[in-house]
Structure 1
């Protein structure tokens, strides 16, 4: 089974969204789903322990070339998500994507166009797309 296109997914969300058609409802559900993603990642560190977080200064300097800075930067994570944590995070990301699509629907915004414009901006601006 192939994955639906972004447009097909956005249409499906529009058809399924019954209770939360109000923009305020969608905004709060989107925010809540984002918090659930963050919580699931945090729990993979604090409860499961399948990944560790070791955050420290990246060590960038103004004299450093951008290509060197990219090779020098780190994600601050050690280890790999276990299958259970990975499944939970994928599920929470799916809910977040659902409510992002619902927000787009509420505001009559095409999610595919948003992604295309952002990809174009990233392609055009490259390293300077950091803001």
Structure 2
């Protein structure tokens, strides 16, 4: 089975989207779906406990090259399958509404991804977006 392209996914979403045709509806659903992703991650920490957060002030090394190895991501543990499935589902819904909004605005996600990739390649570690 070949990998689904962003263009194919956008086409599939455009064929399925009937209920939320208004840009305002799609924008609010996209915002809600982003909040749901955050909530699913929070539940993995607070309800399940399969991952833990240990956040504290980070000391930045003087050398930029050391930053990648020295800076902590504050996350300990691994997602259990239940939490991973829940987060995947919420990310999928978020991608659906991102694709829907892109369709309504006539923006191709593949072009956005290419543009961001080029920016990352050009700016490297200085791409602070």
Same fold (TM over 0.5): yes
RMSD: 0.9
Structure 2: state its 5+ residue gaps: none
Task: Identify the residue that residue 39 of structure 2 maps to in structure 1.
Answer: 39
Task: Find the aligned partners of 2:35 and 2:113 in 1 and give their Cα distance.
Answer: 22
Equivalence for 2:114: 116
Name the structure 1 match of 2:4.
4
Deviation at 1:4, TM superposition (A): 1.0
Query: Structure 1-normalised TM-score?
Result: 0.96
Distance 2:64 2:94 in 1: 32
Write the deviation string for residues 34-71 of structure 1: whole angstroms up to 9, x where unpaired: 0000000000000000000000111115xx11110111
* 8 Å CA contact 1:58, 1:72 repeated in 2: no
Q: Secondary structure in 1 aligned to 2:15?
A: helix
Q: Secondary structure at the match of 2:76?
A: strand
The list of structure 1 runs, each at least 4 consecutive aligned residues, that deviate by more than 6 angstroms after superposition, is: none
Cα distance in structure 2, aligned partners of 1:58 and 1:123:
26
1:26 matched residue in structure 2: 26
Unaligned 5+ runs, structure 1: none
Count of equivalent residues: 129
Q: Please give the per-residue CA displacement for 1:4-54, whole angstroms capped at 9, x wherever unaligned.
A: 111000110011000101000000000000000000000000000000000
Paired with 1:42 and 1:27, the residues of 2 have a C-alpha distance of 23
Deviation at 1:2, TM superposition (A): 3.2
Residue of 93, 96, 116 corresponding to 2:94: 96
TM superposition score normalised by structure 2: 0.97
| Partners of 1:117 and 1:92 in 2: CA distance | 25
